[in-house]
Amino acid sequence: MMHRPPEHLTLQETALFLDFDGTLVRFDRPDRSVPVVDAGLRSLVVELLGALDGALAIISGRALDTLDDLFAPLRLAAAGEHGSAWRIAPDAPQQSIDVCADLRALPAACRALLARFPGVGLEVKPNSLVLHLH
């Protein structure tokens, strides 16, 4: 049986998963910069939360604590650190993947390999590694 998308979605049938860097704020070296979540953006997010009955989440490579600080006093459903940490609702506890010991040994090996590739940087997050072109 083939499923077709609905011809029209209502707001009650819609959820938004919004990328932070590059969508909500300018993508500007996320491993080093601190973007500004101004009153206009905060107001827009509050309006969307109301219209979607709370079905909105922020997705980011940044840590959830950083997102909380940027959006304060709002606390949002979010996924951070490239999906390795998440909170399914504003009042839910933060969860994260269990990192095996092997992952903790990877940064040194990656740095040695990346020494051969100028312009590629390594960002080490608590539960993931990120490559950036500089």
Catalytic residues: 19
The Cα angle at residue 77 between residues 73 and 78, in degrees rounded to 5: 100
- DSSP state string for 23-77: TTB--S-TTT------HHHHHHHHHHHHHTTT-EEEE-SS-HHHHHHHHTT---E
Dihedral angle of Cα 38, 74, 25, 37, to the nearest 10 degrees: 20
